[in-house]
Amino acid sequence: MKEKFRILNVLTVIEDGGMETLVSNIYEGLYSYDDFDFYTCSLVISDKTFVTEKLEKYSKELFYLGVKNKNLSIKDYLNLFIKIFSLAKYISDNKIDVVNSHDFFSGSYTRLAVLISRFIFFYKPKRNCVTLHNIFFWLNKKHHLINKFLSYSTDKIICVSRSVYEYSKEHDKINDNKYNIILNGIDENQFIKDPGIKDYYKKEFNVSGNDFIIGNIGTLSIRKGHIYLVKAFKLLTDKFPNVKLLIFGSSRGHEQDVKNEVYNYVKENNLEQKIIFMDSRSDIRKIYNIFDIFVMSSVSEGLSLAAIEAMLMERLCVFSDIGPFRELITDNVNGLLFKSKDHESLFYVLYNAVNNYKNYSDFGNKARMEIISKYSYRNMIKQYYTMYKI
């Protein structure tokens, strides 16, 4: 039996977000090569989701360290220090070949664990990588200095979009040879529009055949800018009584204030019958079929999987004009852009899109072709294969 490369992916938490989904998609794409054993670690314990089940399917082991990442006490920091040593010993005991951590919290503590494995347990993985999935506007100078310091012991810094690379390069000031841009990709064969399924989901969500449906998929986080979307939608309902807004996405415990702000606005403006909130679902790729327009009002992204999926499903996409979305959308060619953090700008774009919907009938096909040509799932898998199989 051939010896397989042992790959450990460390995430801060395993929930139902794009980062976890991306890692599970990479596992799925690489699984057929039969060259890897995947190990997955979550620093924080969380409830099991459909994404967890997929990670478990492809992982030789999925385990939780059991640390906190918010509002840490002295006791929590002590526990974190102990757990970092535990992770270092795990890396050494299992002779992990490649350690791939993700984003700031996981990236910082995992790379410290790799250093401990090297100098305390005398085992050094063949490659130490970190993947950056976002433009981290919430980090300060101290965080960027940590990133720069840890970069000296990091073999590769993977950026999921050019915008993420440019942000990190500017703020972390790391040598350019450390970076590798691997664009997020989605298997286009799993996202093919199916108009015949519309009636089934419209019945489930209690929307009529005459309703014009606007969809959004994203965690209820400050990054996703839902408050701008619901404010723009309120203005839209004054012009088009038959519009409905469906928002799919779970909330995060540390961002309950974001959820409360959005829900309170909906209630105060009597929009409960117009806006439907639902948790994320494993059948979401089918649900795209009922959206007439797909909106992402994000104020920060890396390279959104939901945006890519909607484009593959040939929806008319309306995105904020942040860097990652400008990589996907050419305004008025394969989608529409509005000014980020400006609900009136979003309203005007949506008003024009709804009012002249038939004029955008070819945008969906152009969006799908853009994704297939530039954000190839096969290319992404090949790049990760090359990086993991040293």
- pLDDT tens-place string over residues 20-74: 999 999 999 999 999 999 999 999 998 899 999 999 999 999 999 999 877 888 8
Let me know whether 283 and 380 are in one domain.
Answer: no
CA distance 300 to 325: 10
Let me know whether 27 and 111 are in one domain.
Answer: yes
Let me know whether 164 and 203 are in one domain.
Answer: no
Q: What is the structure's pLDDT at 240?
A: 97
Short-list 185, 181, 191, CA closest to 374: 185
Let me know whether 33 and 163 are in one domain.
Answer: yes
Q: Is 335:312 a contact under the CB 8 Å cutoff?
A: no
CA distance 54 to 264: 35
Q: What is the structure's pLDDT at 72?
A: 80
CB 25: neighbour CB atoms within 10 A?
A: 23
CA distance 324 to 306: 13
Q: Which residues of the chain have pLDDT under 50?
A: none
Let me know whether 167 and 194 are in one domain.
Answer: no
Let me know whether 232 and 177 are in one domain.
Answer: no
Q: What CATH number corresponds to the domain at position 43?
A: 3.40.50.2000
Q: What is the structure's pLDDT at 1?
A: 63
Q: Which residue segment(s) compose the domain that 123 sits in? A: 5-185+376-388
CA distance 203 to 276: 13
Backbone angles phi, psi at 128, to 5 degrees: -120, 115
Neighbour-count burial of 46, counting CB atoms closer than 10 A to its CB (0-12 exposed, 13-18 middle, 19+ buried) = middle
Give the number of domains in the chain.
Answer: 2
CA distance 103 to 220: 19
Tokens 């039996």, residue located:
1
Q: What is the structure's pLDDT at 276?
A: 96
Let me know whether 264 and 295 are in one domain.
Answer: yes
CA distance 226 to 228: 5
CA distance 337 to 185: 21
Let me know whether 156 and 229 are in one domain.
Answer: no
Sign of the Cα torsion 133, 223, 373, 327 reads negative
Terminal Cα-to-Cα distance of the chain (whole angstroms): 19
Let me know whether 40 and 162 are in one domain.
Answer: yes
Q: Is 339:321 a contact under the CB 8 Å cutoff?
A: yes
pTM of the model: 0.94
Residues 6+ apart with CB under 8 A from 253: none
CA distance 303 to 307: 8
Neighbour-count burial of 147, counting CB atoms closer than 10 A to its CB (0-12 exposed, 13-18 middle, 19+ buried) = buried
Let me know whether 219 and 111 are in one domain.
Answer: no
Let me know whether 177 and 118 are in one domain.
Answer: yes
Q: What is the structure's pLDDT at 236?
A: 98
The DSSP 8-state label assigned to residue 16 in this structure reads S
Q: What is the structure's pLDDT at 76?
A: 87
Let me know whether 22 and 108 are in one domain.
Answer: yes
